[in-house]
Structure 1
Amino acid sequence: MTGVEPRPARTRAPSPGRVRAALAAVLALAAALVVAPAVARTSSARAADEAVVDVRIVSIAPQVLEPGEDLRVTVEVTNTTSAPVEDARAVLWLNRFRMGSRDEVAAWADRGLDEPAGQSEISVDLTEPLLPDAARTVTLTLPADQVHLTNLPGLWGARGMAVEVAARGERLGLERTYILWNPTDDQPPRVPVSVVLPFVGPANAPVAAPAPDDLPGKDPSDAPTATEGAAEPTSAAAAAARAADDDLDALTAPGGRLRAMLEAATVDEDVTVVVDPSLLPLAESGSASSQRFAQRLRAAIASHDSYGLPWADPDVAAVQHAGQGALLQVAADRTQAELESSEHLLLWAADAGTPDDVTLAAVSGAGAAAILAPPAPTAGASGSSSEVAPDRSSAASGVSSDDASDSVRTFEAGVGPVTTVVPDAVLSRLVVGGTATGDGTSGSTSGSTPASIAQRVLAELAVVSHEEPSPAGVVVATDRLTAPDSAVLGAVTSALGAAPWTRTATLSEVLAEPRDARADRAPASTTDRDELDPAAVTALADAREAARSFSEVLDDPDAFLAGIDDQVLAPLAVAWRAAPRERAELVEQTVEQVLARTTGLSIVETSDLNVIATTSDLRLTVRNELAVPVRARLVVDPRKACLTVGGFATPVLEPGDTSVTVPLEAHANCDVLVEVQLVGPAGQDVAEPIAFSARVSPTIESVGTVVVGILLALGLALGIARTVRRGQSARRGARTVSESTGPVTLPVLGGTPADDESLAEGTGPDDAPAGADDDARAGEASDEGAAR
């Protein structure tokens, strides 16, 4: 078989019909390429559960629908792609099943883009293509006769509703919201809802004020002041003060947290403001914007239900865990004095969840109305205001299962029942400006608007109002560092006042509501890792107490203590939790700075002492390096009874050196340690004590006196004895006769006097020779001289 070469193919000119068909195919391909990006974007967006067209609820009227009323829903739709969307339409969906729990309310909001949205009721076509990044407002009206909700008592509450944007059978965007239904003549119980906004400033460290050194009659240049070297701000305090000023300017400027918080507080007169009063003087001494803010804040305090936080917003848990409740009382007293209110004090816990037993005890200790505990970051599956993990419903966790929606709770602490305010986690996050998912966190499948947030709040509270017994109140509160959007809060408070099952209330009104719920046991003591260490809190408390003790010896203790409380309280502020390293440095330098005020008095060291007498004087010198006189007392304390101290008075210690004489009495020989203190009125040390040794020998003085007496007695006795032994001579006896009247000579003792004749003859009575008599006189004179 041989191969056959194929013949060349014969070409044919295309017919006009085929050319037109080919041209149509090219145009179709081009059109497909134009819309391909949008189609691809739609597919990928749906896979990621993200909308191509952003749908936002502008308004829902009425917010609570009653029989016979039309429902009007206005939405804004925005094309987020780079290609136009054609043939789009907006569709209103309804889910007519009433939501019986907050689980269902949260589940409806959490549904994805492609999940069911109920039944399609009405639609509106977008007559023109929706261009890239273009927005358009669409209103959908559902006639009253198409609502088809049951008009029976008790069926009031929330149903699911959604607005969809679709094109060519594809869902491009969806916003879920709620239709709120109230049958005719139904009277739901009204739940009081309170909105609480905190006003706290940045982490601050006040610069120490110097002690007074210009009292009358004193020249500060004569002596150093008590705070010499301590009045200058330390690096940590100065840096914190400068940072606080800068931060406060930003916080009170337009867009700042404090400025936004103040704007939100003015949306409704029932909003309760909680203020750290230390913020006011800080703002009043700042920039022009800060000063205007302080003025407006004072006006808000006067016109709203207001509570004061303890001065400088101290970390209540840290103070209580250190056992230094006195510091919290100091802050509470400062607040009551600043705000001139003894009843409106509120504690605000720093840690989420129920405070432990030790922290709750601070409420009664400080005289506060209650303690506000921020909701825990993780909620139960319900997404309701139980704001805690499921295991928190047990008694050990401190949250009961029968009052999960009630924000006002009572816990049994060691000091008795304590009122605790636990804000609703979901509603609080909604008010901040976003939607709340089932786990209590913020999130949204589309854009959140004031209208949609207000509708969600009413849906949540409709379920709460169905609870038995009805909650005493629900509290909505932001955290310290987050301000709500004023437009959102305004829409929420307006909705609360219009809904038949809610009403706005102040925190004071909510706290005053009667409650029948039992008190739960407070959780066991726990410590958060962000708390200030108990040793640091104790060091601050001890430094303050040392300064207060020292001030008692001064004539003007209040002037001396000016500024110390601010210094000690500043490092305790909750705001310092965000800067633990700087906080530790500030604590150390604050302690040093406060203790530096207590220096300036000293007892001059003395050498060891020898006491050899029964009574003697000790001279001590007290040095006053202050510029003011001091009224203190010297205490001299021998540690053994062999040496005692007599009574003495300590004079007023003028600046310079003062000598004090101390009488001593020795009772026996011993070596004794003598301690010397300079104390205040309550016996507290105001100077460093000194000690010295004393050798006490009072017997040396007594022995010397006895020896001298014995020697004198012996000399006297010897003289008398010798005189008696020798006897009396005639010469010594003759001297007793007066030479002027008696004879010149006297006879020998026991003899007869010589007559004149015998004397003339020179013979004695015994006829002795005259020379012999002279010899006898000479011998007697010699003996008498020897005796003398």
Structure 2
Amino acid sequence: MTPRRRAASSILLAALVTLLGLGALAAPTASAVPAPVGLTTPTPTPTRDDALPLRVQITEVSPAVLRPGEDLVVTARLTNTSADQIVDPRVLVHLERIRPGSRADLQVWLDEPLTGQRVGNRVAQATTATALAPGTSVDVAVTVAADSVGLLDRPDTWGARGLAVQAVAGGQRIGLQRSFVLWATESDDVPQARVSVLAPVIGPAPVPADLDLPAPGPTLSELVQPGGRLDSMLAIARTSPDVALVVDPAVLASARAGTDATAAWAGDLAAAAVGRDVVALPWSDPDLTALAHADAPGLLDVAVETSATAVTTAVDGGRPLSARTDVLWAPGPVTDQSTIDLAARSGASVLVLSPDDLPEDVEAAGARSELTSSAGTIAGLVPDATLTTLLADPAELMPDPTGATVVQRVLAELSVLARGSDQGLQHVLIAFPRDADPDADLVERVLAAVQGAPWSRTAPLTALLGARGSTDEAEAPPATVDVPDALAPAQVQRLVGARDATVAFATVTEDAGPLLAGVDTAVLAPLATAWREEPTLRGRLVDAVVDAVDARRVGLTLARASAQYLVSANNTVRFSVRNDLPADAAVRVQTTPRKACLRIEPSETVVVPAGGEEVVPVAVHAIANCEVVVEAVLTSTDGTPLAEPVTFVVRASPTIESVGTAVVGVLLAVGLVLGVVRTVRRGQSARRGARRVHDDAGTRPLPVLGGTPEGDDA
């Protein structure tokens, strides 16, 4: 068919649909099918600007998937939202037999104005036997006979069709709601779309227990109570073994250490985790974007390692929680390249992205794609924005939603996705937002319908990770995205500096555990993504955490030295060190003169016992006469400062010692020379020098130094 003929056919078809819709208002009521009627007294309010006086809510479409030869039963609740009584309203059921060609067409159908003429062909009607007073409701069931459905039983005719239920009175439309009918033919050759679900188990914004600061929002005890957000997530997990739990181990640890109610919830969660996919997020679910923008990969590594340790040791009844720790979850709203690079550098293999990371004009690019970064390639999972919203907050997409209309909309979306399977198996992801509080009963109803439809099935997360990624060339993410609600880089660096200094301080002892207990969890608390909701209070928390971590670096004291008077070139200055830590500390004293007249080396390492004192000697070499201020710092063996520095004055006079030594040496030398000269000038005498020996042979000279005369053998 040529484009011109296709356009003409479309115009003709639209005109026929409009005429049929107009004719429905004047249609006779003789063919009405009686329906059971029940009265309730809710107090609803209109939800749209073009709201009509009668609120129509489709509460049941049975069966959810219609097959050839089956009757369709549509139940609707009519509620009078006006101030006047409505007498004998009639209910008309319409079916649009043209199958939507895209997911966008589904939304267009629902977005039609309540007063619009596009309603489809009328296929059944029913009347009410009562007048509706203001604020009252009535349930009406209308049966559409199988031979009135009018859909063909052919292999390629399956899928969604528009459904409309309107109420009329006095020849005027007074209420309308649109939904979908799902048509399944007898053909077995129907492609399937797969659906994976992530249920986040993430608690409130954390506050370290030793800090006197309020925690925003509901408490953990409130969240695990029946109807609370975390209780709902546990209930959702129980609806299907394919639902994956995304757990912050910090929440599980807090619950186990809390009240009986929270501990019981933690036990139920651990039991529900058995046999399903479980992801352990980094401790306290830190904001990846804030860490990336502050270039602080070390804190992410700390959070991942803390979680990895917790899931292997956090037991319930002696059973550790089996969870993978190589999956990260970007906080959104848009994931930039710096966040992807951070995730890859941390060793993650999977990054769950934001629904907004998928371009709006993409119908079904698939949930899994490959993300490239400077540190390698990781898998990216993009949640389906429409399906996620339908389960988390359907009112954002659908006017006046009910459980029935949500089920029908989800099945309609999946039918369109399944038809796109000629490009490969469509596997989509539903990832509830971190703070979502969905209706667990609705989610259970939807997932049961997904399993029952011929074109859809639920699947575990591992199946999605093993699926083939999209082959379409994705748009490059932005390098960086400004996120005002994220913790500022300067604040992140304050936390990094406080932790690094405290970890370095702890190396002074062989057992750093007591000094570092709770430091990592405290530093990670302000980084939690949940704190984006309270930036002002988060700033106070950062200040409190930095002060508390800095306070860990106390317990070692270097006593102030008195003024030193040095008259020698080589001297020793002794310092007293006090250790109030719970463990022995290996320390050194590093001294720095402010003039070059002294040369001082660091002291030897001295072990100061816990609760004791030791003297640390430092060798000082005086080079010249001077008066100099010297700064002394107590350090660890690797040079990390351990206490506040102290200063003292040194008055060095090494020349006094040098002159005294020289004078004595000169005097000794002069005395020696004078003695030699005097001896030489005076010559020999009878008592000094050579002497003669008188005997019988005559007088003979003796040697100068005495001895036996020459020729005397005796």
Q: Structure 1 length normalisation: TM-score?
A: 0.74
Conserved 8 A contact 2:579-2:609: yes
Conserved 8 A contact 1:433-1:488: no
Residue 427 of structure 1 pairs with residue 387 of structure 2 = yes
Q: Distance in 1 between matches of 2:339 and 2:324?
A: 20
Aligned AA for 1:343?
Answer: R
Deviations 1:394-432 (A, max 9, x none): xxxxxxx5x744222323223233322221111111112
2:606 to 633, 641, 650: 650
Conserved 8 A contact 1:371-1:419: yes
Deviations 1:261-306 (A, max 9, x none): 2223222221111111111222233333323322222222234321
Counterparts in 2 of 1:538-557, with a 5 A limit?
538-557=493-512
1:372 to 344, 352, 368: 352
Deviations 1:494-543 (A, max 9, x none): 11101111100122221211225156323211220111111111111111
1:293 to 265, 290, 294: 265
Conserved 8 A contact 2:280-2:323: no
Q: Distance in 2 between matches of 1:365 and 1:720?
A: 86
- The aligned residue for residue 165 of structure 1 is 167
CA offset at residue 586 of structure 1?
1.1
How many percent of aligned residue pairs carry the same amino acid? Answer: 37
Distance 1:408 1:659, change over 3 A: same
Conserved 8 A contact 1:343-1:369: no
Q: What secondary structure, in the 3-state scheme, does the structure 2 residue paired with 1:173 have?
A: strand
Q: What secondary structure, in the 3-state scheme, does the structure 2 residue paired with 1:417 have?
A: strand
Aligned AA for 1:514?
Answer: R
Aligned AA for 1:364?
Answer: A
Conserved 8 A contact 1:91-1:123: yes
- The aligned residue for residue 455 of structure 1 is 408
- The aligned residue for residue 440 of structure 2 is 486
- The aligned residue for residue 702 of structure 2 is none
Distance 1:127 1:715, change over 3 A: closer
Distance 1:196 1:645, change over 3 A: closer
Residue 410 of structure 1 pairs with residue 367 of structure 2 = no
Distance 1:60 1:728, change over 3 A: closer
Q: Distance in 2 between matches of 1:664 and 1:72?
A: 99
- The aligned residue for residue 362 of structure 1 is 342
Counterparts in 2 of 1:628-777, with a 5 A limit?
628-636=583-591, 643=599, 645=601, 648-665=604-621, 676-690=632-646, 698=654, 700-715=656-671
CA offset at residue 342 of structure 1?
6.5
CA offset at residue 260 of structure 1?
2.4
Q: What secondary structure, in the 3-state scheme, does the structure 2 residue paired with 1:205 have?
A: coil
Q: Distance in 2 between matches of 1:324 and 1:259?
A: 34
CA offset at residue 326 of structure 1?
0.9
Conserved 8 A contact 1:374-1:479: no
- The aligned residue for residue 327 of structure 2 is 346
Deviations 1:662-714 (A, max 9, x none): 33455677888866443334442323445667666655434323322333454
Distance 1:410 1:710, change over 3 A: closer
Q: Which runs of 5+ in 1 are unaligned?
A: 1-43, 208-232, 377-385, 391-400, 436-440, 738-788
Distance 1:113 1:613, change over 3 A: same
- The aligned residue for residue 240 of structure 1 is 214
1:613 to 568, 583, 586: 568
Q: Distance in 1 between matches of 2:54 and 2:192?
A: 38
- The aligned residue for residue 276 of structure 2 is 304
Conserved 8 A contact 1:549-1:686: no
Q: Compare relative contact order (CA 8 Å, sep 6+) and give the higher one, 1 or 2.
A: 1
CA offset at residue 164 of structure 1?
1.5
CA offset at residue 458 of structure 1?
0.8
Conserved 8 A contact 1:405-1:471: no
Q: Distance in 2 between matches of 1:357 and 1:159?
A: 41
Distance 1:335 1:143, change over 3 A: same
Distance 1:634 1:140, change over 3 A: same
Task: Specify which structure has the higher proportion of strand.
Answer: 2
Q: Distance in 1 between matches of 2:519 and 2:73?
A: 62
1:321 to 289, 293, 316: 293
CA offset at residue 636 of structure 1?
5.0
Aligned AA for 1:174?
Answer: L
Q: What secondary structure, in the 3-state scheme, does the structure 1 residue paired with 2:266 have?
A: helix
Distance 1:427 1:334, change over 3 A: same
1:515 to 456, 466, 469: 469
Q: Distance in 1 between matches of 2:494 and 2:602?
A: 39
Aligned pairs, number? 636
Deviations 1:201-256 (A, max 9, x none): 1112113xxxxxxxxxxxxxxxxxxxxxxxxx4xxx32236x67x62222222332
Conserved 8 A contact 2:279-2:323: no
Q: Distance in 2 between matches of 1:679 and 1:91?
A: 86
Aligned AA for 1:56?
Answer: Q
Q: Distance in 2 between matches of 1:284 and 1:249?
A: 11
Aligned AA for 1:622?
Answer: V
Deviations 1:23-45 (A, max 9, x none): xxxxxxxxxxxxxxxxxxxxx99
Q: What secondary structure, in the 3-state scheme, does the structure 1 residue paired with 2:333 have?
A: coil
CA RMSD of superposed structures (Å): 3.4
Q: Distance in 2 between matches of 1:451 and 1:314?
A: 38
Structure number with greater Rg is 1
Conserved 8 A contact 1:449-1:488: no
Conserved 8 A contact 1:203-1:240: no
CA offset at residue 654 of structure 1?
4.9
Aligned AA for 2:550?
Answer: L
Residue 152 of structure 1 pairs with residue 108 of structure 2 = no
CA offset at residue 605 of structure 1?
3.5
Conserved 8 A contact 1:310-1:345: no
Q: Which runs of 5+ in 2 are unaligned?
A: 1-44, 313-321, 693-714
Residue 174 of structure 1 pairs with residue 176 of structure 2 = yes
Q: What secondary structure, in the 3-state scheme, does the structure 1 residue paired with 2:194 have?
A: strand
Conserved 8 A contact 1:77-1:136: yes
CA offset at residue 350 of structure 1?
2.1
Q: Distance in 1 between matches of 2:246 and 2:47?
A: 45
Counterparts in 2 of 1:593-608, with a 5 A limit?
593-606=548-561
Aligned AA for 2:151?
Answer: L
Distance 1:703 1:67, change over 3 A: same
Counterparts in 2 of 1:564-603, with a 5 A limit?
564-603=519-558
Distance 1:713 1:92, change over 3 A: closer
- The aligned residue for residue 95 of structure 1 is 96
- The aligned residue for residue 258 of structure 1 is 230
- The aligned residue for residue 466 of structure 1 is 419
Q: Distance in 1 between matches of 2:348 and 2:479?
A: 21
Conserved 8 A contact 1:648-1:663: no
Distance 1:455 1:265, change over 3 A: same
Aligned AA for 2:70?
Answer: E
Conserved 8 A contact 1:464-1:471: no
CA offset at residue 615 of structure 1?
3.2
Q: Distance in 2 between matches of 1:335 and 1:117?
A: 54
Deviations 1:54-81 (A, max 9, x none): 2222322222222222222222223334
- The aligned residue for residue 13 of structure 1 is none
Conserved 8 A contact 1:611-1:695: yes
- The aligned residue for residue 17 of structure 1 is none
CA offset at residue 457 of structure 1?
0.5
CA offset at residue 455 of structure 1?
0.4
Aligned AA for 2:405?
Answer: S
Q: Distance in 2 between matches of 1:85 and 1:561?
A: 72
Q: Distance in 2 between matches of 1:522 and 1:271?
A: 29
Mean Cα displacement is larger for which, 521-530 or 53-62?
53-62
Aligned AA for 1:707?
Answer: V
Q: Distance in 1 between matches of 2:685 and 2:120?
A: 160
Residue 477 of structure 1 pairs with residue 431 of structure 2 = yes
